[in-house]
Structure 1
C-alpha cells in the first residue's frame, strides 16, 4: 500500500510507549500495533483525532503517501467513484 504510518517515529520523538499511547487514546495496544506495523486497512477519524491530540501532531505527520503502482484491495475498490 502506498500509505505509510509514521507512528513509530512519533512515539520515539515523544518518548512514549505504545501502551501509554493506547491508554491515552482508548484503543487497544494490539490495534495500535497493527496500525504502527502498516497492517491496518482503515482508521476512524475519531481515532486519528485522538492520536493527533495525544501526539501533538497533524494527520500529515502521522500518515504519508509514497507514490507507486496501485494495488486493489480485497473488494476491488481501488478509487473513489463519482455518484453521478
Structure 2
C-alpha cells in the first residue's frame, strides 16, 4: 500500500471525482483489472483513497483516516484467514 499516493489522491480529489475515476477504470479496464497487477494496484489505490476521503469528509484527520484504513484492511485479512 503506497500511503503517499493514497494521501495525495484523497487530499486532491473530491469524493465525486474519486467515484468517477473508479467507475471509469472499472469500465475501461474491466478485462485486465484482475489479470494485470499494475492496473489492479492503481484501482486498489483509488478505492483506498476514496475510503480515506470519506473518513476525512466526516471529520477525521488524514492520519487517523489512514490508521482506520489499515485497521479495516487487517480485520478483513483476518476474516479471510479464519
Question: Which of the two has higher C-alpha Rg?
Answer: 1
TM-score, length-scaled by structure 2: 0.29
Higher strand share: 1
Higher helix share: 2
Query: Of the two structures, which has the highest relative contact order with CA contacts closer than 8 Å and spacing of 6 or more?
Result: 1
TM-score, length-scaled by structure 1: 0.28
